[in-house]
Amino acid sequence: MKKTAIIGSGGREHALAWKFAQTLTWKNVFTLPGNGGIPNSHSVDTKNFTEIENFCKNNEIDLIFVGPEQSLAAGIVDYFKDKDIKVFGPDKEAAKLEASKIFAKQFMQKYGVATADFKIFKNIDDAKNIIEEKNGNLVIKFDGLAAGKGVFVCSSVDEANSALQELEKTYGKNVNFLVEDKISGDEISIIGFTDGKTIKLLQTSQDHKQLLDGDKGPNTGGMGAYSPVPNVSNELTEKIRKKIIRPTLQGIKAENFNYKGVIYFGIMVKNNEPYLLEYNVRFGDPETEVLLPALKNDLYEIVKKCISGNLDEINFEFEDDYFADVVLVSGGYPKKYDKDYVINGLDNISKESLIFHAGTKKESGVMLTNGGRVINVIGRGKTLNKALDNAYKEVNKIYFKNMFFREDIGKRKNKYLKF
């Protein structure tokens, strides 16, 4: 029996579960802990690997797909290494590509991956000179995982000093961080699968991290995404492969990483040159919500091929359409927001569109908000504009108190990714 458990509780995990369920059916796809909208969600403490193991044994699950980075960084792959249950993802050492910004930068440097110049620091005071030297035009990155709160993109000495103060307040004066050159351009996410020998890429996508229209306001976990990014030239694609993807694969092999999982390249394009900003060792959120509906292949088969080291036997096939995701959040997010508001309108969604739940819970048959990012609304269309129109049409059918969303998803004026 093919059965899988997905770890996580957001829109990404709903999209993953939905994709697995296409071939395995919902009764064989378990999500731990899941949310109010993912069928077959189970309340399991996912920080406790023994609890996950017991749940999987009791339900004859032999494959675990990990959504968020925390479980990978904490060593879930290592925990299950000699057990019958397979976990899809990198082990703790390889997960440092995301969990340690310094480790990742040193890896990029060692294997000639195109990236911004950087310096490593272990004490707040030591970075004062470079801030003056660069006029505060730089990026400061805390070394460890910080749920999106460890990266400061600065444009002035004051901003850079405030970033250092913030770091000091949270972690103390003796903290590992890096300072890197700021590259301004167009961001693109490229996500693929690896079996440690091959990397196969899904389509391109673009995330919208800031809260407000025009890319203003605080960073969030993602306010929307679309895929594919139109008009990425063949020349740029080849440069991305040559300067980022291939040297990364060479590094994974040379370091002998135990890495059978998802790899995410966060790329900045400037003057038609790609630079790697970061690796993630898992699917992006909300990118997953627009990537998986476009993927025609059976996800379970892809994962099995990765685990057996035969990813090269698979050719990915994609739908010919564009997909757009508008995220509905609770007013106040990413700071303080309220929960427990009734979500209306979910029964009226058109069959061509998809809804992936994030911060929701179901109580006595009623769907309630239960987090900052609440619902992902996915539209599909022959053009990006059509996909966006379709997504916003469905957004207008949904309502909960203090609901908020960006109105300009997919409308960014990219400078180098022209369309």
Contact footprint for ligand GLY (CB under 6 A): 207, 222, 280, 284-285, 287
Nearer to ligand GLY, 209 or 386 (CB): 209
Cα gap 313→84, rounded to integer Å: 24
* Least Å from the CB of residue 280 to ligand GLY: 5
Nearer to ligand GLY, 14 or 86 (CB): 14
Cβ contacts of 403 within 8 Å, gap of 6 or more:
328, 329, 330, 331, 374
* Least Å from the CB of residue 250 to ligand GLY: 24
Nearer to ligand GLY, 15 or 160 (CB): 15
Nearer to ligand GLY, 65 or 400 (CB): 65
Cα angle: 238, vertex 16, 385; to 5 degrees: 60
Nearer to ligand GLY, 34 or 68 (CB): 68
Packed helices 11-24 and 299-307: angle between N→C axes, nearest 10 degrees: 90
φ, ψ of residue 397 in degrees (nearest 5):
-90, -15
* Least Å from the CB of residue 382 to ligand GLY: 25
* Short-list 326, 346, 337, 286, CA closest to 406: 326
* Least Å from the CB of residue 283 to ligand GLY: 7
Q: How far is CA 89 from the centre of its chain?
A: 14
Inter-residue contact 416 to 186 (CB < 8 Å): yes
* Short-list 30, 69, 21, CA closest to 52: 30
Nearer to ligand GLY, 280 or 369 (CB): 280
Nearer to ligand GLY, 53 or 287 (CB): 287
* Least Å from the CB of residue 263 to ligand GLY: 12
Nearer to ligand GLY, 41 or 280 (CB): 280
Cα gap 293→58, rounded to integer Å: 31
Query: Which residue of this chain has its Cβ atom nearest to ligand GLY in the complex?
Result: 284
* Least Å from the CB of residue 287 to ligand GLY: 6
Four-CA torsion 377, 277, 93, 35, nearest 10 degrees = -10
Nearer to ligand GLY, 70 or 280 (CB): 280
Cα gap 8→20, rounded to integer Å: 14
φ, ψ of residue 331 in degrees (nearest 5):
-50, 135
Nearer to ligand GLY, 17 or 61 (CB): 17
Round the CA-based radius of gyration of the chain to a whole number and report it: 21
* Least Å from the CB of residue 291 to ligand GLY: 11
Q: How far is CA 414 from the centre of its chain?
A: 21
List C-alpha distances in Å: 225 to 229, 290, 326, 356, 388.
10, 7, 7, 13, 10
Inter-residue contact 193 to 302 (CB < 8 Å): yes
Structure tokens of 267?
């790329």
How many Å from the N-terminal Cα to the C-terminal Cα in the chain?
46
* Least Å from the CB of residue 202 to ligand GLY: 14
* Least Å from the CB of residue 266 to ligand GLY: 7
Cα gap 220→327, rounded to integer Å: 11
